[in-house]
Chain A
Amino acid sequence: MLSTVLTYPVLAALTAVALPLLAFLLSAALGRRARSGSIAVASISLSLVAAAYVFGQVWNQESIRVQWEWFTVGSHRFLVGLTLDNLSAMMLLLVCVIAWPVHVYSVAYMKGDSGIHRYWAYLSLFCFAMLGLVIADNLLLMYIFWELVGFASYLLIGFWFTKESAVQANKKAFLVNRIGDLGFLIGIALVYSHLGTLDTEALTATPETFPATWHTVAGLAFFLGAMAKSAQFPLHVWLPDAMEGPTAVSSLIHAATMVAAGVFLLARIHPLFDGNTLMVIAVTGTVTALVAACFALTQYDIKKILAFSTISQLGFMMVGIGIGLFPVALFHLATHAFFKCLLFLCAGAVIHQMHHVAESQQHEIDPQDIRNMGGLRRHMPVTFATMLIASLALAGFPFTSGYLSKDALIVHTFEWAALQSGFAKVIPYLLLAVSALTSFYILRLLAKVFFGSFRVGLKDTSMLHEAPLSMRIPMVFLAACSLFPLFSMHPLNDGHVWLMQGLTTTVSSLPPLRLLHLAVPVLTTLATCVSAMMAWRWYVSSRYPLKTDSLPYRWSYNQGYLNPFYEWVIVRPLLRLSHFLFWMDLRIVDGIVNGLASLGRSLAAAASWMDMRIVDGLVRLSGKVAWWLGNLFRRLQTGRVQHYFTTVFLIILVILIYHIVVLL
């Protein structure tokens, strides 16, 4: 329903969005005085309350739409407004629920940092942008918030801007996202030119007026945007580098919310996709999941492992979209948000402790290197427990929320593949393989960090202690949300998940295969157990059978050499082009200008010469002629009377002759 009436849910939604903006402005205005972060925490808490209210009012109720006049270009009228349906209410609540623990965690994590006032401002800006994105009702507004989210991400990745690697990372993130934004813009243009409106609701209504090729192109364009934002292969390269930012930022933005924006966009405009686009999405998602999981196997920076894990799980979500079941994808998005955020927060706690260790050592050790850690479960039990829960959720172990979502995804993929032909049939099997790899790498991480003995030689291990309370509380809260009760009463069956039931708008056309519901979980659990044993054997007992310098290992460790490839193929030619253009501007364009200037100068010189020689010359010439004539005539002035007489009579003679000759 279209209206401009400000009902309570609408007001609450607007408040939820506006509060972080106010917090941002206030923090920016206060500058260095806003060190305590209380403004940001207070605003997100209130936003959480408002979002919860909106969720309560809108979930499974009639959806609300409010619109206002925005601007008019010629005969085109643009409206701005918000839409509150199940999807946006869920996302609103999810973002607030994830952002709140991160804010609380940051109070302790970022304590003592010199730029903390900027941190709170940027964090609030990000929350504002993300919340605005999920309730926007037309594509243009969504694009605006999309860009803002990217910008906030840029600011936060480069938070420690004095570090060269951080500056490079945030530039990379922004540039790669720009490619995606281009796709988004092309999609907007195509939609507007063919459908005449940017309203997301209108998109669901009339996709038939789209000519087929443009339909596919528009879908692919939007998917390009989602690819960059949600780090799909090959535009995923920015996410591992984005780990330069603070860990709390990584947990909020690059695990739970911003990267999920791409999935959210695709869910929002899912009626726009035709079969070809969906196939492309599914394939890309699968490739991403597989490749990222392979890369994660050999990394030893704790945050990079988690980054690749995020990319892999985003691939899973894309597959969910690609098979046409966006509720499944969104369910996985929700569960992933919780346990991935938790994983990062735990990693942050560990890194925090490792910083203390690093400061006490004479030589530099990387606090994020898992080869320097070990046996921390004795010193940090709560961290260990929560991280274990999160890891099991990621691996899809029963009784966790992750089990439910991953299980649902893989089963439905099998059902979908049964209706497909050709290489699409392989996709579910690949997803199973990725699951196995997922279990392995996360348990490898657990083994290396929490088991065994501490690898850095320390005289006194008492400095390793548990994280402070304000870090533990968010972690425990998120751990609780990672278990099944939040999402379903039945721990092992995904048929009762209220989230998916709320989001499903159409009846699934995939024939259910009952057997899979048994086979798939059994297989994944088995894979998890086997991975656990292997991880124990290899990393805890240190019986590592593989060579670390073999080609697959190096390929995985160097992230498939994708970064050098981009550097050589794209970055360097572009730099050369820009140097060439600069040279052209300097030499040719400026050369023309300078040439014209010298032309003007030579013209001026010629004119000056002409003025000096010719014009002045004429003047001087006339003077000289007058002088010469005068000199000539002065000879008449001899002073002698007889000469004067002669002259007079000569003239008289001439006059007489004239009279005689001419007149007579």
Chain B
Amino acid sequence: MIPLTHFLIVSACLFAIGLYAVLSRRNAIMVLVGIELMINASILNLVAFGRYDKTLYGGQVFALFAIVLAAAAVAVALAIILNVYKFYKSVNPEDINHLKD
């Protein structure tokens, strides 16, 4: 079958790309998308290793939970973004700097 490393490399690429999106995008929604990408990469990783766990199915179960949590996170995050926009009148993370020194 597909060797483990292939999955890991793909997962690494997705993770790096998601990281790039989180760090550099000027729109909060894009940052959210980046986070989702990273979560997806990690789920892929879990599933890839889960192939070797027939007794406990730990990898796949964890992956399922991760998916659920990612969904919850998106929902809450969008609500937060809405509120942030109401207050700051902007979704640019760079403008939300009231906690700066």
Contact = CB atoms under 8 A, between A and B. Distances in A.
A311 B33 CA distance: 139
Interface centre among B22, B94, B96, B101 (most CB of A within 10 A): B101
A133 to B, nearest CB: 104
B93 interface: yes
Contacts of B24: 642
Given A640-B93, A640-B94, A645 B100 contact: no
A649 interface: yes
A639 interface: yes
A209 interface: no
Contact of A634 (B23, B98, B101): B101
Nearest to A649: B19
A640 B100 contact: yes
Interface in A588-644: 634, 637-642
A646 interface: yes
B30 to A, nearest CB: 11
B31 interface: yes
Interface residues of B, number: 13
A214 B10 CA distance: 127
A646 B34 CA distance: 14
A641 B19 contact: no
Contacts of B98: 639
A649 B99 CA distance: 20
Interface string B30-43: 01000000000000
Contact of B100 (A638, A646, A649): A638
A533 B29 CA distance: 159
B97 A639 contact: yes
A639 B99 contact: yes
B82 to A, nearest CB: 17
Interface in A156-205: none
B20 to A, nearest CB: 10
Contacts of A639: 96-101
Contact of A638 (B19, B31, B97): B97
A649 B38 CA distance: 13
B96 A640 contact: yes
A446 to B, nearest CB: 125
Contact of A642 (B93, B99, B100, B101): B93
A642 B97 contact: no
Nearest to A637: B101
A137 B98 CA distance: 115
12 contacts: A637-B100, A637-B101, A639-B100, A639-B101, A640-B94, A640-B96, A641-B31, A641-B93, A642-B22, A642-B23, A642-B94, A646-B23
Given A640-B97, A646-B23, 9 more contacts: A638-B97, A638-B100, A639-B96, A639-B100, A639-B101, A641-B93, A642-B23, A642-B31, A642-B93
